[in-house]
């Protein structure tokens, strides 16, 4: 599809929906951690999601190739993807969904900053920097009073989620600035799933038993992650990344931690106060500033 220079209505709908899905994903990972070892859960998810994505691509006759120059950056992306999810899944075992959300979803900050230096036409003006700052302030405010550590290793969990955010940003930039950009979104995701699956499963051997207390409900949540979050959600995200400006896409991603807090409140009974409502306002204003472009 032809690249676009700004977010249109359809792109906005996809981005908001994906942000909501990402917020819900944090809750689901933490729930499934009760039944499966975190790293094993991440690896099994990559294995199970690989085949629906492959079948989808083959049925729609998408061009899948490793001879277009994307093989090396694709493997690198897969390794980064594996480490990213290893850190995030373990981090959610230690810290709360709220704190994990704010730290992991700082990813758009690093993407927008990197795009400013690496991608022509995506420079951060003072207006756009102000918008990103307001959006980040809103997300921070949403979590300002969630100060009770989820475990004795909560700080470690926070740091793991923050490092995972750096790795996610690196993957996004690989998809825009290397030969990986020539690969179809489906192929990009297959690289990440195919490379990360054996790495994660191998790493899981050093982190205890694979199964904790799995239940039919937790397996159902896991299946939802595989089919909806990974297979559909991440394909949509790669498609958006290939069509729309990275900085504009990054601004919408600031909604994800807010959705994470909301779903944490609904599902895990995490506290939700006035600060979250004010944060939503700040995020909305921030998105408006980042998305608005000067008229010519």
Q: Going by C-beta distance under 8 Å and a sequence separation of 6 or more, which residues neighbour residue 167?
A: 80, 81, 83, 84, 87
In a domain, 31, yes or no: yes
The pLDDT tens digits for 236-268 are 776 776 788 766 665 676 678 788 888 988 898
In a domain, 2, yes or no: no
Q: What is the pTM of this model?
A: 0.83
Q: How many domains does the chain have?
A: 1
The pLDDT tens digits for 36-80 are 999 999 999 999 999 988 988 888 788 888 888 899 999 999 999
In a domain, 242, yes or no: yes
Ramachandran class of 2: left when φ > 0, alpha when ψ lies in -120 to 50, beta otherwise: beta
Strand-pairing partners, residue 36, are: 211
In a domain, 1, yes or no: no
In a domain, 296, yes or no: no
Q: The domain containing residue 42 runs over which residues?
A: 9-291
């Amino acid at each position: 599809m032809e690249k676009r220079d700004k977010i249109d209505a359809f792109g906005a709908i996809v981005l908001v929906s994906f942000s909501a899905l990402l917020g819900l994903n944090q809750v689901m990972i933490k729930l499934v951690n009760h039944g499966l070892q975190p790293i094993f859960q991440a690896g099994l998810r990559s294995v199970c999601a690989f085949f629906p994505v492959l079948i989808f691509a083959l049925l729609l006759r998408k061009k899948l190739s490793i001879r277009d120059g994307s093989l090396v950056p694709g493997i690198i992306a897969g390794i980064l993807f594996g480490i990213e999810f290893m850190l995030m899944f373990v981090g959610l075992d230690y810290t709360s969904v709220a704190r994990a959300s704010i730290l992991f979803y700082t990813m758009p900050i690093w993407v927008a900053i990197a795009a400013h230096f690496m991608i022509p036409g995506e420079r951060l003006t003072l207006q756009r920097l102000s918008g990103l700052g307001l959006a980040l302030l809103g997300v921070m405010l949403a979590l300002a009073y969630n100060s009770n550590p989820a475990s004795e290793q909560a700080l470690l969990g926070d740091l793991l989620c923050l490092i995972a955010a750096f790795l996610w940003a690196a993957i996004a930039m690989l998809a825009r600035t290397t030969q990986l950009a020539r690969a179809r979104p489906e192929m990009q995701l297959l690289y990440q799933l195919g490379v990360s699956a054996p790495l994660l499963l191998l790493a899981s051997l050093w982190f205890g038993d694979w199964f904790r207390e799995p239940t039919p409900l937790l397996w159902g949540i896991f299946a939802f992650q595989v089919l909806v979050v990974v297979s559909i959600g991440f394909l949509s995200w790669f498609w958006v990344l290939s069509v729309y400006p990275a900085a504009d896409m990054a601004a919408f991603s600031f909604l994800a931690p807010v959705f994470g807090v909301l779903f944490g409140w609904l599902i895990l009974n995490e506290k939700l106060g006035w600060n979250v409502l004010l944060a939503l306002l700040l995020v909305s204003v921030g998105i408006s500033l980042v998305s608005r472009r000067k008229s010519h």
